Amino acid sequence: MQLRIDKYLADMGIGTRSEVKQYIRKKQVQVNGNIPKPEQKVDPDKDCILFQGKEIGYVQQEYFMLYKPGDCVSATTDATHKTVLDYIEEKSRKDLFPVGRLDIDTEGLLLITNDGKLAHELLSPKKHVAKTYYAKVEGKVTKEDVVLFSQGIDIGEKALTKPAQLHIIASNEISEIELTITEGKYHQVKRMFEAVGKKVVYLKRIAMGPLVLDEKLMPGEYRRLTNEELKELLHESHLDTI
Ligand code: URA
């Protein structure tokens, strides 16, 4: 793969394309020891790129697991709230985004990447990627709810929700449950419980496809995916066979 030196450096967050062009004009960039033109093509695998004397490697794709805390939005920018990207400090790419959305008050597993193909596959309604949530719910969750959820719930959409697996951990005034759904309708978990007369008071995503929230992470913490996790995700999305 070859790309223009100005794009290479802009992708790595050195500056905007026009800022990078300025740096090049000011001879602050070298390619294999020579001063390039902005349109010069470079090969990230072979060429040595220096900016202000420091070598800048090229990272094509990045993948992070974030334990999203409450009170931040699943967006790339926001005028009033912290975004999930604000938590990812050691990033090379500036084109990262969250794969799907969690409500502002929902916590838990969020994949952050710049891999658009993977995101598309994981979010495609046709792929039915499983998402598992842990929730605290006001009211006693019952075996009847388990049956109703397995049959699909009317949450005011054209069709019932797809069969969902509800597991009761504790059935009390405040119940604790785990729920696995294969869709991603707006406020889906909250609306499913509302439809059976109950209120979700705490919601945390613990798994998405093969990816499981790392128990060592605290809210607001993140880490890069392991090679194994990435392999499994690409496999689930059939992107390892393309
Ligand atoms: N369902 C919800 O209601 N909220 C979320 O954030 C995710 C699933």
Tokens of 172: 């009390």
Question: What are the structure tokens assigned to 56, written together?
Answer: 């800048």
Per-residue model confidence (pLDDT) at position 238: 72
In the chain, the amino acid numbered 128 is H
Q: Which three-class secondary structure state does DSSP give residue 97? A: strand
CA distances from 21 to 36, 142, 184 (A): 10, 64, 42
Active site residue 43: no
Inter-residue contact 21 to 38 (CB < 8 Å) = yes
DSSP state of 161: P
Backbone angles phi, psi at 115, to 5 degrees: -90, 95
Residues contacting ligand 1 via CB (< 6 Å)? 102-103, 106, 187-190, 203
pTM of the predicted model as reported, rounded to 2 decimal places: 0.89
Ligand 1 pocket mutation pick from 67, 73, 103, 104 by most atoms within 8 angstroms of CB:
103
Which atom, in ligand 1's list, is nearest to the CA of 190?
3
For ligand 1, atom 4: residue with the closest CA:
187
The predicted structure's pLDDT at residue 57: 93
Two structure tokens written together for 152? 């699909």
- Measured N-to-C along each axis, helices 116-123 and 227-236 cross at an angle, to the nearest 10 degrees, of 50
pLDDT, tens digit only, all 242 positions of the chain: 899 999 999 999 899 999 999 999 999 999 999 999 999 999 999 999 999 999 999 998 999 999 999 999 999 999 999 999 999 998 889 899 999 999 999 999 999 999 999 999 999 988 899 999 999 999 999 999 999 999 999 999 999 999 999 999 999 999 999 999 999 999 999 999 999 999 999 999 999 999 999 999 999 999 999 999 999 999 887 776 54
Give dist(CA 51, CA 60) in Å, integer: 18
Residue 205: in which H helix or E strand, if any? strand 199-208
What atom of ligand 1 comes closest to residue 105's alpha carbon? 6
Q: What is the pLDDT of residue 241?
A: 55
Identify the CA nearest to 58 among candidates 1, 116, 11, 4: 11
Nearest CA to ligand 1 atom 7: 102
When computed from its CA atoms, the radius of gyration of the chain, rounded to whole angstroms, is 22
Tell the residue nearest (CA) to atom 2 of ligand 1.
187
Rounded Cα distance between 242 and 225, Å, is: 21
Given the residues 47, 78, 86, 103, select the one marked as catalytic.
103
